[in-house]
Structure 1
């Protein structure tokens, strides 16, 4: 892959990541690297039962532990609750307040009850061991079936039937008749395991009071610094200007850190009470059991087809286990609303009915995790097409071709308008790649040898660049969407760019700089990007839902264009010519005669140091600010994944022999970065398909408390991934780019599951749920072997 474009432009070139020299040489600065004078360390007393009334909480012995400085419960800190709301009627949504520290009731094992502050982290850990908590236990609700059962114990007294969200968003008139008259009806019931987003860097926070600025300064590992500022100010009873949130380098987030956590607020409260800096770093056991989780969903779906394999209707019932509380700001609606609105995906579905519910259980609460419901409903849609192909005697690739959206813009039965994409082209190229490499012949040869090879596909779109309009449709009380960027050139001609997005590994320091540099004719070394500081950044919604380049990058491009216009006007004035005779050029501004040229430094010298030479009405300095929002239904990246697996008898191991991804994210600002996003996402998708699952016992105690039990794939389990690019530029963003952050995770589980089922076809066993365990595969293969012995 070429590092540079022949035309000298940076957008579209795989320039090296500017973050790498710092991060790869150990010069990164993460939350846990922060050391402040007189700093204290925090640890949390956590509930040891899943559901109970707290009858007593005694911290007296904690305060006597050597090294412990203080211990605070909810009553000591007098904090407000964290409450997220949807503007929906009571029949559709029930809000639940999440206390920063639990008071008289705990609703999941690991819920924080008190914070211990000590001189070192070891004393803080000793302190939490000395806490004495007594409970009157209640029956724990540990599954969606139990939550919805008549007479089930209530996790929240105000949530009847343990239901926080219950929406029926679409119901095509006459859909029952569609199913009654269909040539073929197929069904899929699918469950997906609860997962942890598992960023390399766990959550953490360092809080300190700044007397000079009269501010609580909170360093925290978050994707949404401005949202943390808002909630911290409200819970602590401070003006927002009295809270400054700063994000250092961040070792991954994947959605887990795009909600506001209780611990970062409690650490801020402790710092205010102590008058000293306080640090908390989440350990891995806390991260696996008490942090935000995701994914546990149950789908019961039918699809109607005609004799030629064209889908006629889709009827879905979706239940999402959201754990004990709604997250802020997205609420418990984040997963069921996503699934309802977008399930038809890349296919022309003429009739659609869906009911989606979020149930509350005695488990750690759910936050968005890379893909948010799309990996789950793509599994269901792709299994429906595989099953229909089998019943109708069609090739599984051909039935997809007959149903893919090919004319754009396309408004679906879900009232979503899809912008142009390469749905059919990506499927054709993916299949052609596997055929040309000979995998179909190898599958047949393996079958003749008694081995089990399978080939599977998944086709999907990734809705990216959600703007205010899309989030408003969900009736969120807090409506994310826009982004704001400021660009400022100094007297040396160097540029500082701010963005309201927040990098947690996506190379924003590189890609945002590429956009700004191209817009103004700068070299990359002349651009510096700043993010993650609520005092420095006007406002921003942070990074989630693949919005950073689509929305944030567009704001950067607009702000740079505004500054470029000022440079043009300044040069026109200096030359006393009409602005139409002046154009931006590499390194500065050039007259259309090709002879006159003013460099950025020369123009900045006038703008700052010779203001008397500025044209009338022009302000001194070189700065511009712009905002960008998406007011349509968003932009849709798309891809097809193709997978070849081999199943091993005896062990039940699923070995991935080949993985091909054909993706289209519009204009790739940096193709190498896009490929990194694809590969990382695919690894997480494979993890969900084959390995990772958070489990609980009947009492609601988490069973996967370490990597001994929570099975994470290593480099040995993740194959080399072949990536091919298509490019359908987006008409709704300033750069032509669409998002690329979640596609790998969205497509991988379905492709892997379909390949496993293809390999299992001789056994008659079909699997519709994930993760696929070695025990299940081994059992199917062994039973088949016995039958044919």
Structure 2
């Protein structure tokens, strides 16, 4: 299944990352490294109550604090709200406006109420302490059950029963009869903990007004620079031309930075008002408690099976706690719509019914986080298969074999067409590796010694390369999808590439250069990528949903191919042959007889001797291309196998072995793909075993530092064995599928199944994450006491 890499070809090779020399020697430039003349520092007065009406804001004492330059409320700045809307009828979707600064009411602890600007970071903190804000507290809504309860306080008057989205996308006729007649019906009720994406670099912005260009310039760490530009211009009532967004190096995002934040807009407004640069850097407390969160979901799902273990139907109810507001541009619909549309996953599910809801509570808002609902619904579906296997007396891997999709293209009950993948092959290989390493024998030997070792699997797909057609199905007013790239060669034969995607650690400077260098027959050192500047990039949707290589890389390849065609045409005209007789290699155009024109020579003609060009060839060497996906996207897939040991005395879960067999189509750079896998798996393990933000009855967040928010370290994350399969994608220009989220998607299910396998003698089954040591300890001691 893996095609050998051709001699001299860069795509498919683990080329050294071109970003590393700069980043590893301290020459990276992040937002907090930026210092402009006269720069001021900003922080925010934040709500101390979860739900309440603002009765007064007194910033008089703030303005008297030494070093404080200004302090503004919402009334002072007069900003338009950030509004995220779907095009669905109000019966299914309720839009909410998110004010840049809270005006009359606050809806979560940490909500920004006012901005304080001072000469340095110390003075601004002193200014915050002098702020006086009074509230008339309202009853907080801190759980899904409280939000949906009859008579519950409403966060938004327009949202009945605190419901922002309520959709029933699929309901197969006769599904109740299918369940009634089934040989086996299993049920899983699962909850997953609220998480923080936790990028190493917190959010931040440096904003200043450029008099010469008459532009407000925002240097900020965002995955979606053009969307930030759009929102900033609308909130500040500026022409979009008058706002420029530039992204320097970025230390992670994971989805938290693919929505538009309020603080960046407020800091920009302060800079515009004061005509001085303003910097805001989010501190870790605010990042943990007041930034965008994700993952708090509740699944109530049944599955019907026949006597042979073949699935007959899936019936699901999904409720997602989305916090206080919809985010821009993805809205509160992002999690329930993802879960509802894609839950059948890799399995041949003939009947399906689902209801998906997004409820609003007095918690920090939700943004997409790596995987978006897929780690949760994959975990639930994999638990259903494990439970059915036990009830039917089947092997847990065998029941999956009987149900995975094996014939492609396959159109599922969810009306999604799956392109070719290696679902069965990855499952079989993963199981074989675990068996060949002797883990089944080690499990039996451990049981004889009174130890608790378990083996678990998860088999799943990752929908990637969402194009406009896929996003349009969600009926969003803002429909992401396409990407635009320009490839330009200068007179030295060097190439500059632009992309509308935005790297925050994914190695775009390397992988995009590999694509261009191969297409043009050019040394990779001659290729430079530009990204994250709304003045240099015509337009782009940024980086999310594993779209950078699938969509952005395809646009880059098409643009490079267009430039290559022009080079061939110029050379052909000089030699008086047809363009088809010219090939590009080793930085030159050449004929079969060995005649060559170097790129420098061709560029001299294109730029400096344009009179030599035929009339049908324009001067210059540049080409622009767009790419969109007009089908249902493309599906990467993988199987994860995990071996754990549970420790009686502490309840700790130790991961002894982790195997990942993945297929993301053509791996542009296998080492980069492996890095994506390992990083995603670490985040998946974190959600399975460690991380959770909880709230008390008054809506106060529990995890405001790393003392309380349990982040795994290198000690808890095992080495990961990765095997690559390769099913090239027919819908992208490079044959690549997305690789960004698969690790995160598969890990929680595999870990939870392994823990349950180890708990099998106790009769206890766990369906919630994170799995705490207390829970494991109680389960093991139940066995011991019995």
TM-score normalised to structure 2 length: 0.99
Mapped partners of 2:781, 2:61: distance in 1: 57
The answer as to 2:637 corresponding to 1:674 is: no
Mapped partners of 1:244, 1:17: distance in 2: 29
Equivalent position SS for 1:48? coil
**Deviation, structure 1 residue 594:** 3.0
Query: Contact 1:168–1:354 (CA<8 Å) still a contact in 2?
Result: yes
Query: Contact 1:650–1:782 (CA<8 Å) still a contact in 2?
Result: no
Residue range with higher mean Cα deviation, 628-637 or 577-586: 577-586
Mapped partners of 1:142, 1:267: distance in 2: 30
Query: Which residue of structure 2 lines up, in the alignment, with residue 254 of structure 1?
Result: 254
Mapped partners of 2:727, 2:259: distance in 1: 32
After superposition, residues 581-730 of structure 1 pair within 5 angstroms as: 581-591=581-591, 593-730=592-729
Mapped partners of 1:579, 1:248: distance in 2: 40
1:378-415 superposed Cα distances (whole Å, 9 cap, x missing partner): 00000000000000000000000000000000000000
Equivalent position SS for 1:66? coil
After superposition, residues 281-296 of structure 1 pair within 5 angstroms as: 281-296=281-296
Query: Which residue of structure 1 lines up, in the alignment, with residue 492 of structure 2?
Result: 492
1:202-228 superposed Cα distances (whole Å, 9 cap, x missing partner): 000000000000000000000000000
Query: Which residue of structure 1 lines up, in the alignment, with residue 82 of structure 2?
Result: 82
After superposition, residues 287-366 of structure 1 pair within 5 angstroms as: 287-366=287-366
Query: Would you say how many aligned residue pairs link Structure 1 and Structure 2?
Result: 783
Equivalent position SS for 2:166? strand
**Deviation, structure 1 residue 615:** 1.2
Mapped partners of 1:653, 1:367: distance in 2: 30
1:90-135 superposed Cα distances (whole Å, 9 cap, x missing partner): 1100000000000010000000000000000111011111100111
**Deviation, structure 1 residue 786:** 1.1
The answer as to 2:758 corresponding to 1:768 is: no
Mapped partners of 2:50, 2:254: distance in 1: 26
Mapped partners of 1:134, 1:269: distance in 2: 24
Equivalent position SS for 1:117? strand
Mapped partners of 2:402, 2:165: distance in 1: 35
Mapped partners of 2:651, 2:350: distance in 1: 40
Query: Which residue of structure 1 lines up, in the alignment, with residue 150 of structure 2?
Result: 150
**Deviation, structure 1 residue 6:** 5.5
Equivalent position SS for 2:298? strand
1:405-434 superposed Cα distances (whole Å, 9 cap, x missing partner): 000000000000000000000000000000
Query: Which residue of structure 1 lines up, in the alignment, with residue 374 of structure 2?
Result: 374
**Deviation, structure 1 residue 623:** 0.1
Mapped partners of 2:416, 2:754: distance in 1: 30
Mapped partners of 2:464, 2:490: distance in 1: 34
Query: Which residue of structure 2 lines up, in the alignment, with residue 521 of structure 1?
Result: 521
**Deviation, structure 1 residue 596:** 1.1
Equivalent position SS for 2:195? coil
Equivalent position SS for 1:701? coil
Query: Contact 1:186–1:387 (CA<8 Å) still a contact in 2?
Result: yes
After superposition, residues 412-561 of structure 1 pair within 5 angstroms as: 412-561=412-561
The answer as to 2:752 corresponding to 1:746 is: no
The answer as to 2:773 corresponding to 1:735 is: no
Mapped partners of 2:515, 2:115: distance in 1: 44
The answer as to 2:553 corresponding to 1:569 is: no
Mapped partners of 2:586, 2:434: distance in 1: 44
Query: Contact 1:208–1:278 (CA<8 Å) still a contact in 2?
Result: yes
Mapped partners of 2:377, 2:40: distance in 1: 46
Query: Which residue of structure 1 lines up, in the alignment, with residue 167 of structure 2?
Result: 167
Query: Which residue of structure 2 lines up, in the alignment, with residue 579 of structure 1?
Result: 579
Structure 2 unaligned spans of 5+: none
Equivalent position SS for 2:658? strand
**Deviation, structure 1 residue 650:** 1.3
Query: Contact 1:53–1:106 (CA<8 Å) still a contact in 2?
Result: yes
**Deviation, structure 1 residue 584:** 1.8
**Deviation, structure 1 residue 5:** 5.2
Query: Which residue of structure 2 lines up, in the alignment, with residue 200 of structure 1?
Result: 200
Query: Contact 1:461–1:637 (CA<8 Å) still a contact in 2?
Result: yes
Query: Which residue of structure 1 lines up, in the alignment, with residue 778 of structure 2?
Result: 779
1:3-55 superposed Cα distances (whole Å, 9 cap, x missing partner): x9561110001000000011111110000000000000000000000000000
Mapped partners of 2:755, 2:468: distance in 1: 40
**Deviation, structure 1 residue 586:** 2.4
Query: Which residue of structure 2 lines up, in the alignment, with residue 397 of structure 1?
Result: 397
Query: Contact 1:74–1:103 (CA<8 Å) still a contact in 2?
Result: yes
After superposition, residues 129-278 of structure 1 pair within 5 angstroms as: 129-278=129-278
Mapped partners of 1:645, 1:323: distance in 2: 34
Query: Contact 1:65–1:123 (CA<8 Å) still a contact in 2?
Result: yes
Query: Which residue of structure 2 lines up, in the alignment, with residue 16 of structure 1?
Result: 16
1:282-335 superposed Cα distances (whole Å, 9 cap, x missing partner): 000000000000000000000000000000000000000000000000000000
Mapped partners of 2:45, 2:779: distance in 1: 45
Query: Which residue of structure 2 lines up, in the alignment, with residue 46 of structure 1?
Result: 46
Mapped partners of 2:24, 2:248: distance in 1: 16
**Deviation, structure 1 residue 189:** 0.2
**Deviation, structure 1 residue 481:** 0.1
Query: Contact 1:189–1:300 (CA<8 Å) still a contact in 2?
Result: yes
**Deviation, structure 1 residue 578:** 1.6
Instruction: State the Cα RMSD in Å.
Output: 0.7
1:516-573 superposed Cα distances (whole Å, 9 cap, x missing partner): 0100000110000000000000000000000000000000000000000000110100
Runs of 4+ in 1 over 4 A off after TM superposition: none
Query: Contact 1:39–1:277 (CA<8 Å) still a contact in 2?
Result: yes
Equivalent position SS for 2:493? coil
Mapped partners of 2:569, 2:70: distance in 1: 61
Mapped partners of 1:619, 1:98: distance in 2: 49
Query: Which residue of structure 2 lines up, in the alignment, with residue 121 of structure 1?
Result: 121
Query: Contact 1:150–1:161 (CA<8 Å) still a contact in 2?
Result: yes
Mapped partners of 2:748, 2:585: distance in 1: 47
Mapped partners of 2:764, 2:690: distance in 1: 20
1:245-282 superposed Cα distances (whole Å, 9 cap, x missing partner): 00000000000000000000000000011110000000
Query: Which residue of structure 1 lines up, in the alignment, with residue 105 of structure 2?
Result: 105
Equivalent position SS for 2:339? helix
Query: Which residue of structure 2 lines up, in the alignment, with residue 28 of structure 1?
Result: 28
Residue range with higher mean Cα deviation, 312-321 or 609-618: 609-618
**Deviation, structure 1 residue 590:** 1.3
Query: Which residue of structure 2 lines up, in the alignment, with residue 60 of structure 1?
Result: 60
Equivalent position SS for 1:632? coil
Structure 1 unaligned spans of 5+: none
Mapped partners of 2:249, 2:578: distance in 1: 46
Mapped partners of 1:587, 1:65: distance in 2: 62
Mapped partners of 1:659, 1:579: distance in 2: 52
1:637-684 superposed Cα distances (whole Å, 9 cap, x missing partner): 000000000000010000000000000000000000000000000000
Residue range with higher mean Cα deviation, 150-159 or 664-673: 150-159
Query: Contact 1:194–1:693 (CA<8 Å) still a contact in 2?
Result: yes
